Amino acid sequence: MPVRSGFCLKRYVTGALCALLLLCGSSWPTSAADPKPLRAILLIARGDLPDSDFSDSVVLVMNNLAAAPVGIIINRPMPIPVSRLFPDLKRLAQARDKVYFGGPVEFGSVWFLFRATTPPEHAIQACDGVYLSADRKLLLQLLGRDKPMDGLRIFVGHAGWAPGQLQAEIANGDWTLKRAEPEAIFSGKSEHPWPKSQAPKHST
């Protein structure tokens, strides 16, 4: 199963789940400076996967963040509203959107996926029109919009694999590979987990 330690963001947000967000580390690399070609896929866990952290999970996995694959579980909202992370942002008080469980690695870190028409700074492209970041300033800018949660999902923690581990799990039949597409990432309402019948069905 995915490892639970070892990978650390170059720039990430740390702290307890409902505490103030604190920046740590150096600047997040832009996609233009990334020397490794982007390869992002969705992994659909097999139904009887024994690991409770990853059973019935859909994981967005990218190969250009570290030496081994790194992913974000995208279909596991927690019973915690986004407004609890940002009690000073009154515009979020009525938002029903939940914070997502992104994975068991670096559980205090905060990541977010969002749609954008042009590549933003301090973010890495996940797939067409979708970017991943952990930059606090960028997140606050997005939350300052008229529709703050439009095309935005916030995650706590992430998933990671040791070199060669994911390949072995795929060969073992633990995961089904699907194309990473915006519609799959943002499907359904963020306050509800995806039923199994609504898991992404896009072809590879």
| Per-residue confidence (pLDDT) for residue 31, from 0 to 100 | 37
Q: Is residue 19 part of a domain?
A: yes
What three-state secondary structure class fits 69? coil
Q: Is residue 204 part of a domain?
A: no
Q: Is residue 3 part of a domain?
A: no
| Per-residue confidence (pLDDT) for residue 40, from 0 to 100 | 80
| Per-residue confidence (pLDDT) for residue 175, from 0 to 100 | 92
Q: Is residue 5 part of a domain?
A: no
Dig out the tokens for 16 from the structure: 């307890």
| Per-residue confidence (pLDDT) for residue 35, from 0 to 100 | 46
Q: Are 113 and 60 in contact (CB under 8 A)?
A: yes
Q: Is residue 172 part of a domain?
A: yes
Q: Is residue 17 part of a domain?
A: yes
| Per-residue confidence (pLDDT) for residue 39, from 0 to 100 | 66
Q: Torsions phi, psi of 30, nearest 5?
A: -80, 160
Q: What is the CATH number of the domain that holds 104?
A: 3.40.1740.10
| Per-residue confidence (pLDDT) for residue 95, from 0 to 100 | 83
Q: Would you tell me how many other CB atoms lie within 10 Å of the CB of residue 183? A: 8
Dig out the tokens for 86 from the structure: 């940002």
Q: Is residue 53 part of a domain?
A: yes
Grouped pLDDT means (10 residues each) for the chain, 204 residues: 36 28 29 51 87 87 72 90 88 87 88 92 89 93 91 92 88 90 74 46 42
Q: Residue 59 is part of which domain span?
A: 11-187
Q: Is residue 6 part of a domain?
A: no
Q: Are 36 and 135 in contact (CB under 8 A)?
A: no
Q: How many folded domains does the chain comprise?
A: 1
| Per-residue confidence (pLDDT) for residue 59, from 0 to 100 | 93
